[in-house]
């Protein structure tokens, strides 16, 4: 997916440690730059008839949370230090999700990884989990595979055990037992 991220980039500018990615409407064949994102964008510069807008921090947070790049988790962490309208982030994540592309699963995973890194849960995490729970049967096969300490992030004990057992079985770690000790998972 990392390579797909730049398939829709109009331009990528790199200078020393800085990088600016320019997209028009579609970001990495994942998310669209929607009308609501346009309304939240902030004016940056004007040159003649050209006016440049920058995406709002809420939308940058969502876009960065959707990438597979490790550095974007750090960027999300920095963005969380600023006041963010988490309701707008939640609404956009849900708006961007479709029956065949349920982005809220990926987004929830990233919220968990961000929390693991900075020990701060995004205010919309529980709300996002309720959506995950409602659509549990549609979860991607690799859902939460990269997230340590699943029991911390999946509040429903049975669902956490199901995920841990599935991941362990795929890794060949599941012995002759059908359940892992839940209390050990919470450590």
Dihedral angle sign, alpha carbons of residues 65, 70, 75, 76: positive
Query: Do residues 64 and 76 make contact, with C-beta atoms less than 8 angstroms apart?
Result: yes
| Residue 14: predicted pLDDT | 84
- The whole-number pLDDT of residue 150 equals 93
Spatial distance between the Cα atoms of 45 and 31, rounded to a whole number of angstroms: 25
pTM of model > 0.75: yes
Interatomic CA distance for residues 42 and 32, integer angstroms = 18
At 43 the pLDDT is 95
* pLDDT at residue 2 in the model: 46
In this prediction, residue 186 has a pLDDT band, given cuts at 50, 70 and 90, of: very low
Residue with tokens 């064949």: 29
Total count of residues recorded for the chain:
187
- Other CB atoms within a 10 A radius of the CB of residue 11 amount to 8
Q: Is the pLDDT assigned to residue 5 strictly greater than 90?
A: no
Instruction: Name the packing angle between helices 70-79 and 57-65 (round to 10°).
Output: 150
* Side-chain-facing half-sphere of 156: CA atoms under 13 Å: 11
Q: What is the pLDDT of residues 12-71, one digit of tens each?
A: 778 888 777 777 777 777 788 899 999 999 999 999 999 989 999 999 999 999 887 778
Segment 112-165, tens digit of pLDDT: 999 999 899 999 999 999 999 999 999 999 999 999 999 999 999 999 999 999
Unique residue bearing structure tokens 């911390």:
152
User: Can you read off the two tokens belonging to residue 112?
Assistant: 């968990």
The pLDDT, as a whole number, for residue 82 is: 93
pLDDT digits over 103-113, tens only?
Answer: 999 999 999 99
**Quick one: pLDDT band at residue 7, thresholds 50, 70, 90?**
low
Domain ranges within the chain, ordered by starting residue: 2-148
Provide mean pLDDT across the span 78-91: 96
Can you give the pLDDT at residue 80?
Answer: 95
User: In whole angstroms, what separates CA 61 from the centre of its chain?
Assistant: 9
Q: HSE (CB half, 13 Å, CA atoms) of 2? A: 5
Give the pLDDT confidence score for residue 173 in this predicted structure: 57
162-179: average pLDDT = 72
């Amino acid at each position: 997916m990392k390579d797909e991220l730049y398939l829709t980039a109009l331009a990528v500018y790199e200078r020393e440690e800085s990088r600016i990615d320019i997209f028009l409407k579609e970001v990495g064949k994942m998310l669209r730059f929607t009308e609501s994102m346009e309304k939240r964008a902030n004016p940056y510069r004007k040159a003649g008839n050209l006016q440049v807008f920058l995406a709002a921090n809420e939308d940058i947070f969502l876009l960065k949370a959707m990438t597979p790049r490790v550095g974007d988790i750090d960027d999300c962490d920095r963005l969380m230090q600023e006041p963010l309208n988490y309701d707008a982030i939640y609404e956009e994540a849900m708006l961007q999700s479709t029956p065949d592309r349920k982005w809220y699963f990926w987004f929830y995973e990233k919220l968990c990884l961000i929390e693991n890194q900075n020990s701060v849960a995004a205010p919309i995490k529980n709300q996002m989990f309720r959506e995950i729970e409602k659509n549990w049967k549609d979860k991607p096969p690799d859902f939460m595979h990269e997230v340590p300490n699943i029991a911390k992030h999946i509040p429903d004990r049975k669902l956490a055990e199901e995920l841990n057992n599935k991941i362990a079985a795929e890794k060949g770690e599941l012995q002759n037992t059908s359940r892992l000790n839940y209390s050990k998972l919470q450590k």
